[in-house]
Amino acid sequence: MITTERVYGSPRGGGGFRILVDRMWPRGMKKEDVRADLWAKEAAPSNELRKWYGHDPAKWSEFRKRYFKELDRHQDAVRPIEDRVRSGDVVLLFGSKEEKYNNATALKEYLEKRLG
């Protein structure tokens, strides 16, 4: 099972392998505060796509299309996450204040489609 969680909040119960999926380290947080088992910054949207999107809900559909194309081109960054999902629960950590329209939510959708 794949879940998403904002890195600045308290970890929700349930556990799982925790993967930070942002290109930049969360501002003001120490490694022990993030409690990530892996930082998969290569699986995050490119800086150009991230800046273009700017968490504008009106751009959500197009952002997902563009991000999925990036992920298709960077399978070496996606495979380790897929492997973890196959072996157990995974929590995708993100830093955005936007709880619904963020890259972790899009990545979760991408992975679930690929893994069935």
Question: One digit per residue, pLDDT tens: the chain, 116 residues?
Answer: 999 999 997 776 667 999 999 999 999 999 888 889 999 999 999 999 999 999 999 999 999 999 999 999 999 999 999 999 999 999 999 999 998 999 999 999 999 999 98
At 59, list the tokens.
Answer: 């751009």
What was the pLDDT predicted at 33?
85
* pTM listed for this prediction: 0.93
Write the DSSP symbol of residue 96: -
What was the pLDDT predicted at 53?
96
| Cα–Cα distance measured from residue 69 to residue 22, given in angstroms and rounded to the nearest whole number | 17
Q: Tell me the domain boundaries of the chain.
A: 2-115
